[in-house]
Amino acid sequence: MSNSPSQRKLVTVGVLAIQGAFSEHLNQVSHLSLQPPYSHSVELSAKLVKRPEDLSQCQVLILPGGESTVIAMGCRRVGLFEPLREWVRSGKPVWGTCAGMILLSNQATGGKKGGQELIGGVDIRVNRNGYGAQIFSFETNLSMPCLEQVGDHRPFPGVFIRAPVVERLLHSKLEPSSSSSTFSATTESGTSTPIEKVTSYGGDGAAEKEEEGLIISYADPQPPTESDQSAKRPPLEVLATLQDDLDLPQQSTPPTTTDSRIVALKQGNIMVTSFHPELTSDRRILSYFIEKVALPAIL
Partner 1 sequence: MSAENPTILPGSDANGSISRVNGGAKAESSNLGTFGVKSGLAQMLKGGVIMDVVNAEQARIAEEAGACAVMALERIPADVRRDGGVARMSDPKMIQEIMEAVTIPVMAKVRIGHIVEAQILQAIGVDYIDESEVLTPADNAHHINKHNFKVPFVCGCKNLGEALRRISEGAAMIRTKGEAGTGNVVEAVHHQRTVQSEIKRVSTMSDEELYAYAKEIQAPFHLLKETARLKRLPVVNFAAGGVATPADAALMMQLGSDGVFVGSGIFKGENHAKRARAIVEAVAHFNDPKTLAAVSTDLGEAMVGITISDNMKGGRMADKGW
Q: Which residue ranges make up the site for partner 1 (CB under 8 A)?
A: 17-24, 26-28, 31, 50, 65-67, 69-70, 73-74, 77-78, 98-99, 110-114, 128-129, 132-140, 159-162, 247-249, 276, 278-279, 281
Q: Which residues are catalytic?
A: 98, 276, 278
User: Packing angle between helix 81-89 and helix 68-77, nearest 10 degrees?
Assistant: 100
Distance CA 107, CA 123 (A): 8
Rg (CA), the chain: 18
Contact (CB, 8 A) for 253 and 149: no
Nearer to partner 1, 187 or 217 (CB): 217
Nearer to partner 1, 211 or 226 (CB): 211
* Cα 262 to the center of its chain, rounded Å: 12
User: What residues have CB less than 8 Å from 282, skipping those under 6 apart?
Assistant: 156, 157
Nearer to partner 1, 23 or 225 (CB): 23
**What's the closest the beta carbon of residue 69 comes to partner 1, in angstroms?**
6
Distance CA 18, CA 88 (A): 18
Residues in the chain: 299
Distance CA 224, CA 236 (A): 15
Distance CA 118, CA 265 (A): 17
CA-wise closest residue to 66 among 206, 161, 182: 161
φ/ψ of residue 155, rounded to 5: -55, 140
Q: Say how many CA atoms lie within 13 Å of 40 toward its Cβ.
A: 5
The amino acid occupying position 71 is I
**What's the closest the beta carbon of residue 185 comes to partner 1, in angstroms?**
30
